[in-house]
Amino acid sequence: MQNSIQSKRFVIRKSLIGKNTTINVEFKSGKSFTYNHDKVYEIMKDKLSSINCFEKYGSYTSSTSVPVVLRDKEVV
């Protein structure tokens, strides 16, 4: 079963790892991006492990854009 979330910001959460969740984010600029949380986590996990917010709060968010490492990838 696949879960789906609508969001206003790009987000990776420890609590969503392994849940096969698809997230559709629509930024204030009007741009949108749909991604599979688990695929994105696998691509970003090395970087996430070094970011304080991910270790401390269990999540990484961006309210303005998709991380550069994902911009040219198919992650649905």
pLDDT along the chain (76 residues), means of 10: 90 96 96 96 95 94 95 88
Query: What is the pairing mode between strands 21-26 and 3-7?
Result: parallel
The pLDDT, as a whole number, for residue 68 is 94
The pLDDT, as a whole number, for residue 69 is 93
Nearest alpha-carbon partner for 69 in 40, 32, 30, 38 = 40
Domain ranges of the chain: 3-60
The pLDDT, as a whole number, for residue 1 is 61
The pLDDT, as a whole number, for residue 5 is 97
The pLDDT, as a whole number, for residue 25 is 97
Structure token digits, residue 74: 């198919």
Nearest alpha-carbon partner for 10 in 45, 47, 36, 42 = 36
